[in-house]
Structure 1
Amino acid sequence: MFRLVSAVLAVACGVALGAGGAAADRPPPVVPGLMPPGPPMGPPEDTEQPANAPCVSTVPGGDGPAVPAAQRALNLDRAWQFSRGAGQLVAVIDTGVARHPRLPGLIGGGDFVSRSDGTEDCDGHGTAVAGVIAAAVVPGQGFAGVAPEATIVSIRQSSEFFQAKGRSQQKNPEDLPDGYGNTHTMAWAIRRAADMGATVINVSETTCPSGPLHDEDLGAALQYAAVEKNAVVVVAAGNNDVCRGTNPVQDPVDPAADPWSKVTMNVSPARYDQYALSVGSVDGNGQPSKFTVPGPWVGVAAPGENITSLDVNFADPNSRGTTGGFVKRGQQSAVSGTSFATPYVAGVAALVRARFPQLSALEVIQRIEATAHAPAEGWDPYLGYGTVDPVQALTAEVPNTLPAKRSGGAQSWQLPVPSAPPGADDTARNVALIGTGVIAVLLVLGYLASFPLRRRFGVRED
């Protein structure tokens, strides 16, 4: 995970720095007048990439015919019988998306970090996210994106390897870059994606600062994208390795309480769940990943551990390779996090939009939630309404409404005390015994009665 710093807060891919200590509130009412401005594109200030901050490299992995576990779990082969996401424009708001042969239609949507068109990715993160969504099917390769016929538009709004220009002169040579990107550039990027006609917007970045969240313009951008521009916005729930602290959500003493009343740490943009679908992560066994930040905003979950996706090969831009990990400053890490669960759901949203073009963005979200594999409680702060099911999302009939995001809590019932079992029916036995007894008595009486008769007729007994 990397840090993206502004004067207001810090943002990281998948989750943000800092953890709140005060009770969290529902997001403030959206004020349309706070909508961020449109063009011109570019960062709000000049930026730099320090010399001691080389871009990441990736670990080759996942090539060959074997289908990755996450892909098998979602049964994508069957889902593709109904939709492959054709005609859908999916915006990836992230660290940029590098051009890759398996993203043939990639569109550069702009850059709020530097002066590229959005198709430079020093971090590797955005390229991996885009690959999960829409990597093309290639003969002999098991890995492919969820919606392989969708088109990606890349908008770079964050990077760990950049900072405001001139900061290097104020720091020691060995100091790492501050990172660049915040909720304000995220808001601009969301508006940019919506104005470009994106039907799905993937945001695998969140923030959870220790102080107040000044994200009102982000809320306005989300409403604009989801309601006015009819774009399905899918966002990460966040990872607790950076959002440090507790966020219990459920109180075992009061399990049926409003989950918002138990939250101690806000996560944005996930908390704007009336406009965005927030995604948690599950492991290979379908259990909630230990790093998922729970919250009343979680809508669904998807595989988010040990993911395979497209690599960023700076030495060979024409590489068709895949990756299963990043190498940064000599340290290797797996492709894991709610950041990578999110694009699985964004890909499903693209499949649904292609199959059901008449559905609004919010109706698409409801369909995905209604067809997920629900936990026993009906809703869970780690899993939301359950693990996403692409096939069901494309084929099932769904209810008009969903239950509120509130766990059913522990319940108890007084089980009926079973009545005493009926006594054994001994009629047959009794009849047999009585009959036997009667016969025995008659035999004895007959035997005794035979003595006088024997004497009368002179029968001698030897």
Structure 2
Amino acid sequence: MRYVRTGLISGALAALLTAVPASADALPPVAQQLTGQQACARAGRAATGSPPWQLAALGADRDAGLSQGASVTVGLLDTGVRTGTPQLAGRVVDGPRLLPAAPAGQDCVGHGTFIASLISGAAGKGFTGLAPATRLYALAVTDAAGNTAPDVIAAGINRAVAAGARIVLVSVVTPQPAAVLRAAVQRAIAAGALVVAPAMADGQTQQAPVYPAAYPGVLAVAASGKDSTMPAGPAQGAPVDLVAPGDSVVGPGVSGGDFTGTGASYAAAYVAATAALIDSYRGAMSPEALTHRLETTAVHPGTRMPDPGAGYGLVDPYAAMTTLLPEEGDGLVPSATPPFSVRKHALTVPPPPRTTSQTAGLAVGAAGLVLVALVAVSAVVLPRGRRRNWRPGT
């Protein structure tokens, strides 16, 4: 499925969607879980040295001129974050481990560290996180191999909200629904936090819902391809709200070196980062208002929305920050990415300015009225003046 604006689309964004460095294919992959006797992830040795394709697709250079996510805390629920990771120095607060098998400051799988870098990694060697000034509150909600459970994710959501997280990214999933997890999601939304989660597990093949993405109020994200495409038809997982780059994304991993990952969890990271940019740039919003802005300003698919596989389309950080929505004012604001179709409201367009011919017509009409008035006055004043021989009256 190829994404198109139902109105206008930034030419720069469309051109950048196909900018993919070939060297990314040679990088080591990031796993979401370890299987069998797999050893813990080690530092990578390869590096691309150039900006990865997903940052170009998201317009990261242009986004950074408006916001870098300062003063926003994102709760990151994943496999943990490796202590001492250079690109994350000073950006991560390591929350309590919720499983004994996940020691503090460790990330055996490497998934959480990679996700953290996509959001707030420091600039270096061609890479930067999409919201590098964002503060991360990292919670390990898995064991050392990446396995999790609904009650552990629920406890992580509760702790993230209690720590002041405005956005909560649950980048690991469970196929098991649970009342305790649903209740944690509801409490987070009631407290004013946006919950973002992948609509499916990385590499998921069977069509089945995953949690917490399948719960109401959670922003469920799927992965788009390098050329802004994804398979048509029903999504494999939870109903999709948005898509973001998630195919062979590139970024720094544990203790240095570049890695690559494919899946909805990486797309969810970029949606959470975009939400942080908006929250920093426009001020704190309710989860409902933030979701509406993200969906309304997305690059909409050329189908009825929400599309089964694409939801409301491809996230557009710059448009999400700069677009004036119709309910927010009388008209549109000029920007490099003009506002486009709105999901629920009609655009309010100001009346067009008068043309030159209209202005000239008004001037001729006014002159005619003045002439008529002068003739009427002359018909009364001149005869009286002659009768009095132009002497002043009493």
Q: How does 1:238-253 map to 2 (within 5 A)?
A: 238-239=200-201, 241-244=203-206, 247=207
1:54 aligns with 2:39: yes
Q: Deviations over 1:375-409 (max 9, x none)?
A: 011321221100000000010122558459xxxxx
Counterpart Cα distance in 2 of 1:50 and 1:235: 23
Aligned residue identity for 2:100: S
- The equivalent position to 1:148 in structure 2, one of 117, 132, 136, is 132
Q: Does 1:76 align with 2:3?
A: no
Identify if the C-alpha distance between structure 1 residues 203 and 92 changes in structure 2 by more than 3 Å, giving closer, same or farther: same
- The verdict on how the C-alpha distance between 1:381 and 1:132 changes in structure 2, with shifts beyond 3 A counting, is same
Q: Distance in 1 between matches of 2:211 and 2:102?
A: 26
Structure 1 contact 90–200 (Cα < 8 Å) conserved: yes
Give the C-alpha shift of residue 268 in structure 1: 1.3
Are 1:184 and 2:151 an aligned pair? Answer: yes
Would the alpha carbon gap of residues 51 and 306 (structure 1) be closer, same or farther in structure 2, given more than 3 Å must change? closer
Distance between the aligned counterparts of 2:127 and 2:117, measured in 1? Answer: 9
**Residues 87-115 of structure 1: per-residue CA shift (max 9 Å, x gap):** 11111100001121221221111112227
Q: Which amino acid aligns with 2:226?
A: G
Counterpart-to-counterpart distance in 1, 2:79 and 2:245: 21
Q: Go from structure 1 to structure 2 and tell me whether the alpha carbon gap of 1:339 and 1:240 turns closer, same or farther (over 3 Å shift).
A: closer
Q: 1:351 to 1:358 in 2, by over 3 A?
A: same
* Aligned length, in residue pairs: 298
Identical pairs, percent: 31
- 1:299–1:383: 8 Å Cα contact kept in structure 2? yes
**Given residue 324 of structure 1, which amino acid in structure 2 is its aligned partner?**
F
Indicate how the Cα distance of structure 1 residues 351 and 118 shifts in structure 2: closer, same or farther if over 3 A, else same.
farther
Distance 1:88 1:294, change over 3 A: same
Q: Are residue 268 (structure 1) and residue 230 (structure 2) matched?
A: no
Number of the residue aligned with 2:112: 126
Identify the match of residue 109 of structure 1 among 92, 95, 113.
Answer: 95
Q: Distance in 2 between matches of 1:226 and 1:376?
A: 31
- Contact kept? 2:202, 2:265, Cα under 8 Å: no
What amino acid does structure 2 have at the position aligned with 1:386? G
Distance in 1 separating the partners of 2:36 and 2:53: 38
What CA distance in whole angstroms lies between the structure 2 residues aligned with 1:132 and 1:291? Answer: 28
Give, in whole Å, the separation in 1 of the partners of 2:268 and 2:38. 27
Distance apart, 1:239 and its partner CA: 4.0
For normalisation by structure 2, the TM-score amounts to 0.69
Larger gyration radius, structure 1 or structure 2: 1
Establish whether residue 387 from structure 1 lines up as the match of residue 350 from structure 2: no
Tell me the equivalent position of 2:198: 236
1:67 and 1:111 mapped to 2: Cα distance? 33
Stretches of 4+ moved more than 6 A in 1?
A: none
> Are 1:371 and 2:269 an aligned pair?
no
Matches of 2:234 and 2:172, distance apart in 1: 13
CA contact (8 A) 1:62 1:308 kept: no
Greater strand proportion: 1
TM superposition score normalised by structure 1: 0.60
Secondary structure, counterpart of 2:319 in structure 1: helix
Matched residue of 2:268: which SS? helix
Instruction: Determine the structure 2 residue equivalent to 1:303.
Output: 245
Q: CA RMSD in A?
A: 2.8
Q: Deviations over 1:195-217 (max 9, x none)?
A: 01011111112223xxxx44111
Name the residue aligned to 1:323.
258
Contact 1:374–1:387, Cα closer than 8 Å, also in 2: yes
What CA distance in whole angstroms lies between the structure 2 residues aligned with 1:53 and 1:367? 42
Residue identity opposite 1:288 in structure 2: M
- Residue 336 (structure 1) aligned with residue 262 (structure 2): yes
> What is aligned with 1:98?
82
Residue 291 of structure 1: how far off its partner (Å): 12
**Contiguous gaps of at least 5 residues in structure 1:** 1-12, 16-48, 162-178, 248-264, 314-320, 326-334, 405-462
Q: CA deviation at 1:294?
A: 4.0
DSSP 3-state at the match of 1:201 = strand
Pair 1:198 & 2:160 matched: no
**Secondary structure of 2:96's partner?**
strand
**CA shift in 2, pair 1:298/1:50, >3 Å:** closer
- Can you list the C-alpha shifts for 1:313-340, whole angstroms capped at 9, x where unaligned? 3xxxxxxx34224xxxxxxxxx111111
Task: Give the unaligned 5+ runs of structure 2.
Answer: 1-30, 328-341, 346-394
Residue equivalent to 1:224:
187
Question: Secondary structure, in 3 states, of the residue corresponding to 2:95?
Answer: strand
Tell me the secondary structure at the aligned position of residue 205 of structure 1: coil
Greater fraction of residues in helix:
2
Structure 1 position 67, deviation (Å): 1.0
Give 1:357 deviation, angstroms: 1.5
Per the alignment, residue 280 of structure 1 pairs with 222
Preserved CA contact (<8 Å) 2:79 2:142: yes
